[in-house]
Amino acid sequence: MKSRSKYHHGELRSALVSLAVAEIARAGVEKLSLRSLARQAGVSPTAPFRHFPDKQTLLAGIAIEGFEELTGRLTETSESNSDIEERFIELGTTYVGFAQEFPVHYQLMFGAVLGDFSTSKELQEAAASSYAVLDATLAEMKHSQDLDHDVATLGGLVWSAVHGMASLVINVPMASVSTGADAAPRQAVKSIHNDMRAGLKMVYRGVMR
């Protein structure tokens, strides 16, 4: 039960994260203000500091939340696909799908705003968990398929392609550029996005013998 007096918010931490994500989506990370978040949450300007030592850590919190969600999705995808090639491809679509649904999180997870992850052990671990799922699949492929390139190179290539797709789907700076004759790039992105499975298959076959 909740006390009538709202001296204690009760869910401030998670409320701040949600509000921050919404604010970033609306106005960009550049104009995010802790005080504004506090106002929206109906709390004093200094209350947020009881949950995050500073602004950076609040942002890191969003990234951590993102990695946790991503890890969950990747794990689920991995477990529900026994065929290795199928799994490989589905992991890619899951990855890009996540980026689509959580653009703000993704941007914090892979953008340069957060700088080096070394400042937060929690962040490092959350990120490592996500990559562990991908690594596992890669390792299995190494044994179950005849690759003509080492797994490291394969991983880099695939990761590059998938990560690139995700980035483009999110940012698509071209959305504003391609208004006329130069609409090709945008269509390209849209196309590759619409037919992600085909795209990954192409990469896959470029690597396999």
Q: For binding to DNA (CB under 7 A), which residues are involved?
A: 3, 5, 7-10, 12, 32-36, 38, 43-47, 49-51, 53-56
202 touches, from a second copy, DNA, none (C-beta below 5 to 8 Å by class): a second copy
Structure tokens that stand for 2 in this block: 């909740």
Output the smallest distance, CB 175 to a second copy, in A: 8
Structure tokens that stand for 102 in this block: 């959580």
Can you tell me which residue has the tokens 């990234």?
Answer: 63
Tell me the C-alpha distance between 164 and 52, whole Å: 32
Report phi then psi at 129, rounded to 5.
-60, -45
β-bridge partners, 208: 147
**C-beta closer to a second copy: residue 84 or 170:** 170
Q: Which of 135, 126, 181, 136 is nearest to 159 (CA)?
A: 135
Output the smallest distance, CB 23 to DNA, in A: 10
| Footprint on this chain of a second copy (rule: CB under 8 A) | 28-30, 55-56, 103, 107, 109-113, 115-118, 124, 127-128, 131-132, 134-135, 138, 149-157, 159-165, 167-168, 170-171, 173-177, 182, 184-185, 187-193, 195, 198-199, 202-207
